[in-house]
């Protein structure tokens, strides 16, 4: 395996940054995350769905803009004909079924948690993050300052952002500047 360096190394400072003696957000870069994109030909979507469901020991892969997990393997349906496999996994896709692309080096992944996480993210994302509109295990493609960003809501107060590696440092700085009004920690 290739040793990856973080796009955030220069500005990733672990510590607490309180506001009014409170910390309501936490940030953590998820390093060395394996991301494989699986694309299906429209006529083979059922075959691909079955193969992906087997990875997470389910009968069906998640529907559009949803995710499903088992242990440390996650399937995210990011587009009508595309899924991401997060975590170590081998999948064999025949040429006439679709394709697999390793995106592990293309994205910086940030875990953001806390009681003010929705208010914080709504400062940057043009998404309705209320529970009734963006449920747990939901996925969305959006943007932060015109940079395409994938947003995965794992549970009520935990989100994962997938930011293109080339823009990760500038988005990181923007996020931390906004987080300073909430009080935050970097883990």
Kindly report the pTM of this predicted structure: 0.93
Strands (E), the chain: 15-17, 25-30, 35-40, 67-70, 73-79, 82-86, 98-102, 107-113, 138-144, 147-155, 158-164, 184-186
Confidence of residue 44 (pLDDT cuts 50, 70, 90): very high
pLDDT reported for residue 1: 52
* Percent over 90 (pLDDT), the chain: 88
- pLDDT surpassing 70 at residue 182: yes
- Check whether 10 has a pLDDT greater than 90: no
Q: What pLDDT sits at residue 2?
A: 62
Average pLDDT taken over every residue of the chain? 94
pLDDT tens sequence across 109-130: 999 999 999 999 999 999 999 9
């Amino acid at each position: 395996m290739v040793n990856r360096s973080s796009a955030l190394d220069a500005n990733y400072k672990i510590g607490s940054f309180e506001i009014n003696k409170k910390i309501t957000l936490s940030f953590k870069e998820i390093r060395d995350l394996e991301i494989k994109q699986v694309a299906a030909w429209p006529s083979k979507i059922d075959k691909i769905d079955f193969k992906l469901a087997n990875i997470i020991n389910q009968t069906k892969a998640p529907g559009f803009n949803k995710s499903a997990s088992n242990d440390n393997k996650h399937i995210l349906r990011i587009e009508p004909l595309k899924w991401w496999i997060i975590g170590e996994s081998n999948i064999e896709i025949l040429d006439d079924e679709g394709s697999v692309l390793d995106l592990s080096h293309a994205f910086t992944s940030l875990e953001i948690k806390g009681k003010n996480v929705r208010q914080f993210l709504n400062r940057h994302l043009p998404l309705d993050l209320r529970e009734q509109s963006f449920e747990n295990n939901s996925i969305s493609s959006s943007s932060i300052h015109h940079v395409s960003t994938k947003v995965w809501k794992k549970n009520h107060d935990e989100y994962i952002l997938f930011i293109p590696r080339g823009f990760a440092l500038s988005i990181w700085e923007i996020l931390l500047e906004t987080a300073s009004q909430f009080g935050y920690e970097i883990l």
